[in-house]
A and B are shown apart, each in its own frame.
Chain A
Amino acid sequence: MIIEFEITQNGYTLRDALILPDNHGLSQTAIAKMQQERFDAWYLVVTTPVENPNPEEPPQE
C-alpha cells in the first residue's frame, strides 16, 4: 500500500510516500515516526550547503 504524506516545517515541504506491504501491521505512531524521519533526512539534504568540488567558470554576460 502507498501512504502519501506531506510535512511542512521551517518553510520546507516534503511531499513523499511510504510504500508498505498491505499487512504492514504498523501503528499510526510508527508510521508518523517514519514520515518524520523521512522529512528530517530530506531537510538535512536541502539545508546543508555542499560546495561543488568542481565549480565551472561563471558565464560571461
Chain B
Amino acid sequence: MAERYWVGGTATWDATAGTKWALTSGGAGGQAVPTAADNVYFDAASGAVTVTLSGARTCLNFSSAGFTGTLTSTGTIAVSGSATFGAGGTYSNTGTWTFNATSGTSNITTNGKSLSFSMVFNGVGGAWQLQDALTLGATNSVTLTNGSIDLNGKNLTCGILSSNNSNTRSILFGIGQIYLTGSATTIIGMNAATGYTTSGTPIINCTYSGAAGTRTIRFGSTSGASETNVFSLNITAGTDILSMSSSSYKTVNYTGFAGSISSYDITLYGGLTISSGMTLGAASSKFTFAATSASHNITTNAKTFDFPVTFSGNGGTFVFQDALTLGSTRALTMTAGTVKLKNGVTSTVGNFVTTGATSKFLESSLAASRATLSQASGTVSVSYLTIKDIDAIGGATWQAFTVNNNVDAGNNTGWDFAYQLGRYIFTRRKNKRILL
C-alpha cells in the first residue's frame, strides 16, 4: 500500500503517471498511477484545479478532505476501501463510482456535499457505513449488488435504488431512511429480492413532486419478498403515474400524492393510507393485506376501491379508519386475520367472501359500537368467521351458520347464525335441493 497525493494541477487522472502523483501532500510528482492498493488524496495542496477521471481508475481509500478544486469524470472508479469527500470540493462526475471492498467496514463521508454521480456497491462480504447523510442527484442511482449498506441512522438520498439480483445483500436502516427523488423511470428496481435482508425500520420516501411520466417501483415481483424484508413506502408528492404492481411492501402511505395508480397485485405486510387527491383506477388485480402480527390501519379517504381486496394475514389485525367502499363487482375476501370495520359508518362491498378453514374475525373498530357492512344483492355465506358488532344490511342475505364454524360474538344484526335442520332436503330422484 502506498500514498498518492494529487499534485498534477488541472489534468486528467488516467493511466499516465507523468508528474501528477506524489508520495506526500504537495510533494514531488512522478509516482506511479494509483492502484487498488493505494490511498488517493486530493487536498489543499492539490490546488483549486479541475481533475478529470478518465478510463477505469482504482484506489484503496479515497479522500478529498481540504480539496478546493473540481473532480469530474469521463470514466469510472473502483474504491476498495473508504471514501471521504471534502466540503470544499465540487463533484460533477458522470461516471459511476464502484465500492468493491470484500471485508471489513468501509466508510462513506460526504460532508454535506451533494454528489452527481451514481454509486455501485458490489463486494461479496463488503460493508459500507454512512458517516453522514449521503445525497446524490435525482438521475443518479445507488445499486446494491453484493454486501451491506449501513445507513447508520442517516439519510440516503438518490434518484434510483436498484438491487435486482439474488446475491446476499442487505440495507441496515436503523433510524435512517432512504429518499428517492427520481421520476419517469424505475425508481426502485428490486424485482428479485432473494438474498436481500434488512434491519431497523426500513422506510423509503419517494418525493418527486412533478407530473412527468411513470415512476415504477418493484420489490419481489419475481422472487424473494417476505414479511421480514419488505420496506414501508411514503409517496409524499407528485401528480404523475405510479406503477407498483406485482410487488410487496410493508406499509404504504400516499399522503401528498395526487397522481394515479391503476394496477395492483400488491401485497402489504402493514397498513395503507390513500390520499384524498389521488386517483385509484379500476382493475381486477388485488390488494392483499398479509401481515401476520400487530395492528395495521387502513385509511381510504372516501376513495372507492374498484379492485378486489383480500385479508390473508393469520394473526394480523387490519383496522379501517373510515368507511370502505368497494366497486360493485369487487370482493372483500377473508382467508385469515382480523378485520375491524370502522364503527358508526357503512362499509360497502360487492361481495363478502370467506375462504379456507382458518379462523378469522370480523369486528367493529370500536367494541360495542356497531359497524355496518352492506352488500346490495346475493347470498353471503361465510365460514370459520367470528363476528362481533357488525350490522349486515343491503339486499344480500347474510348467512353465518354456526354449523359452518361461525361464531356469533355478540351485538350483531342482520346475520343468520341459526342453520335450520330440515329446512332443506334432497330429492332422491333428482338429487336436487329444494326448499320446504
Which residues of chain A have a CB within 8 Å of any CB of chain B?
A: 2, 4, 11-19, 37-38, 41-42, 45-56, 58-59, 61
The interface bits of chain B over 268-288 (1 if a CB of A lies within 8 angstroms of the residue's CB, else 0) are: 000000000000000000000
B137 within 8 A of A: yes
B154 within 8 A of A: yes
Which of chain B's residues have a CB closer than 8 A to the CB of A54? 139, 185
Which of chain A's residues have a CB closer than 8 A to the CB of B133? 14-17, 38, 42
Interface contact A17-B157, CB-CB below 8 Å: no
**Cβ-neighbour of B185 out of A11, A14, A56, A61 (below 8 A):** A56
Interface contact A15-B181, CB-CB below 8 Å: no
Task: Tell me the complex Cα distance, A6–B157, Å.
Answer: 15
Interface contact B212-A17, CB-CB below 8 Å: no
Within 8 A of A (CB), among B218-246: 236-237, 241, 243, 245-246
Contacts A49-B208, A59-B243 known; 7 new A-B pairs at CB < 8 A: A2-B131, A15-B155, A16-B133, A46-B207, A50-B159, A51-B212, A58-B216
* Interface class of chain A by DSSP: mixed
The residue among A18, A37, A61 with the most chain B CB atoms within 10 A of its own CB is A61
Q: How many of chain B's residues have a CB under 8 angstroms from any CB in A?
A: 43
Known contacts A15-B154, A46-B179: A58-B214 contact under CB 8 Å? yes
B176 within 8 A of A: yes
Interface contact A46-B181, CB-CB below 8 Å: yes
The residue among B112, B186, B207, B245 with the most chain A CB atoms within 10 A of its own CB is B112
Which of chain B's residues have a CB closer than 8 A to the CB of A61? 243, 245-246, 263
B302 within 8 A of A: no
Interface contact B184-A15, CB-CB below 8 Å: no
Which residues of chain B have a CB within 8 Å of any CB of chain A?
A: 109, 111-112, 114, 131-133, 135, 137-139, 153-155, 157, 159, 175-177, 179, 181-186, 205, 207-210, 212-214, 216, 236-237, 241, 243, 245-246, 256, 263
Task: Tell me the complex Cα distance, A33–B316, Å.
Answer: 46
**Cβ-neighbour of B213 out of A2, A14, A42, A52 (below 8 A):** A52
Known contacts A42-B157, A52-B182: A19-B111 contact under CB 8 Å? yes
A52 CB to nearest B CB, Å = 4
Which of chain A's residues have a CB closer than 8 A to the CB of B209? 47-49
Which of chain A's residues have a CB closer than 8 A to the CB of B246? 61
Interface contact B154-A45, CB-CB below 8 Å: no
**Cβ-neighbour of A16 out of B155, B159, B175, B241 (below 8 A):** B155
